[in-house]
């Protein structure tokens, strides 16, 4: 039996998402678990998998279209379903005349329409319009209820809005021609502050970049950050890593050991493994560490679960898989939520030290710099050691200074005694 495929709630509290691209065309067969579309969320571009076998009978949403969570994006038909079965399903979504294909001038993307109340005297009617038509009208300052709809039942569709835009432009041009040449050259308009000049390209934010900008601004302006910095001597850890990698099937990285060390440090200092929850505190019983990964679209932070209970090789395998799938846009939504702490490592870029911004409701993020030779005093003598600077950003609403200091001391102790990371 034909059914509607709706836009899923990719992340918590999301109200809409962008259908980035379809992997299948209308009429293609699909199987359970097979990727059929990419959906762009505020955090990543993720694959949407088929939840049933069948045929992708209709594509309602077009690539690049913003769709409300729960709104239909396609029709899935079973083998043997008749055209009328598909029509019935489409009609149940609000438009029985939407049984068109994606190629028919994008009409399939407008198949599901919403209505707008229109008061006229004592009578109240309903004007139906597609989401795309309403968006175009809003962007061009048009009242969608004042337009004449050419769609089934008088529904206002995209071409109606485009026609109104063209008419308005034609009217302006005609009026300008009727006025004749100006007697004097009008002054050039003053440049607006956000106007791009020569050699400057305006690049619209992706949804991910919008989310990053919003969340980090909110975090930095509303969360009382404070910072603690420690220098970690890395010589023993690097020597141990070299020894392990000489025989290990999977090569571990310094970052793998850092993630393991902070996970164990959070177990050593459980009062730091907390989150802010309005008028209460979230206390975590395990260390779920969000690992910052840079992608072309922005920074994402998939979560390595139970770091304090996972071997270094297990952590290494998980992070490597995340990194590969992140670059391909294949991180699942559930892998981006639930972390209790974040590690952000810029050491591979040669950054000596930096301070990171918290990711609420987490109360801690560790900013890791490069490991480099530095002069140090050892046993009252000047020597050279490999040192790494790490800075903790903490939320003072739930983490006191002494707690943060003990956490960083525990982290330093683990890093400088690396055998403890393998136990």
Residues noted as catalytic: 396
DSSP 3-state of 80 = coil
Beta bridge partners of 277: 280
- Pick the closest to residue 320 from 256, 245, 248, 369 (CA basis): 256
How many other CB atoms are found less than 10 A from the CB of residue 146? 11
Q: How far is CA 420 from the centre of its chain?
A: 35
387: left (phi > 0), else alpha (psi -120 to 50), else beta? beta
Task: Report the distance separating Cα 316 and Cα 313, nearest Å.
Answer: 5
Q: Please classify residue 112 by burial: count the beta carbons closer than 10 Å to its beta carbon, then call 0-12 exposed, 13-18 middle and 19+ buried.
A: buried
| DSSP calls for 202-270 | --PPPHHHHHHHHHHHHHHHHS-EEEEEEEEE-HHHHHHHHHHHTT-SS---HHHHHHHHHHHHHHHSG
CB 326 within 8 A of CB 298: no
């Amino acid at each position: 039996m034909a059914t509607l495929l709706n836009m899923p709630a990719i992340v918590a509290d999301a109200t809409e998402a962008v259908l980035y691209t379809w992997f299948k065309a209308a009429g293609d067969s699909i199987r359970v678990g097979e990727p059929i579309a990419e959906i762009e969320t505020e955090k990543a571009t993720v694959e949407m998998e088929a939840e049933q076998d069948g045929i992708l009978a209709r594509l309602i949403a077009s690539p690049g279209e913003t769709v409300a969570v729960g709104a239909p994006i396609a029709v899935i038909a079973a083998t043997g379903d008749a055209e009328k079965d598909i029509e019935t399903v489409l009609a149940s979504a609000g438009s029985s005349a939407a049984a068109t294909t994606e190629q028919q001038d994008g009409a399939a993307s407008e198949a599901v329409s919403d209505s707008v109340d229109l008061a006229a005297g004592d009578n109240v009617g309903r004007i139906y319009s597609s989401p795309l038509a309403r968006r175009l009208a809003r962007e061009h300052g048009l009242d969608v209820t004042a337009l004449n709809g050419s769609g089934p039942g008088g529904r206002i569709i995209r071409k109606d809005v485009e026609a109104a835009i063209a008419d308005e432009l034609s009217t302006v041009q005609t009026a300008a021609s009727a006025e004749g040449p100006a007697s004097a050259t009008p002054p050039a308009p003053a440049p607006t502050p956000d106007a791009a000049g020569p050699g400057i390209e305006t690049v619209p934010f992706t949804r991910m970049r919008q989310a990053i900008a919003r969340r980090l601004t909110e975090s930095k302006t509303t969360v009382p950050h404070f910072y603690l910095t420690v220098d970690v001597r890395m010589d023993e850890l690097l020597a141990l890593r070299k020894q392990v990698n000489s025989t290990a099937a999977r090569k571990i990285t310094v970052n793998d050991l850092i993630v393991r060390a902070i996970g164990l440090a959070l177990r050593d200092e459980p009062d730091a493994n907390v989150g802010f929850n309005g008028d209460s505190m979230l206390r975590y019983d395990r260390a779920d560490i969000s690992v910052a990964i840079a992608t072309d679209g922005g920074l994402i932070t998939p979560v390595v679960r139970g770091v304090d209970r996972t071997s270094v090789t297990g952590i290494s395998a998980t992070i490597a898989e995340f990194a590969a799938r992140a670059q391909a846009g294949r991180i699942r939504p559930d892998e981006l939520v639930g972390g209790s702490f974040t590690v952000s490592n810029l050491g591979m870029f040669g950054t000596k030290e930096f301070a990171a911004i918290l990711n609420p409701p987490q109360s801690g993020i560790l900013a890791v710099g490069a490991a480099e030779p530095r002069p140090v005093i050892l046993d009252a003598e000047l020597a050279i050691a490999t040192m790494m600077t790490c800075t903790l950003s903490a939320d003072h609403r739930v983490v006191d200074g002494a707690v943060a200091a003990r956490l960083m001391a525990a982290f330093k102790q683990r890093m400088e005694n690396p055998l403890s990371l393998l136990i």
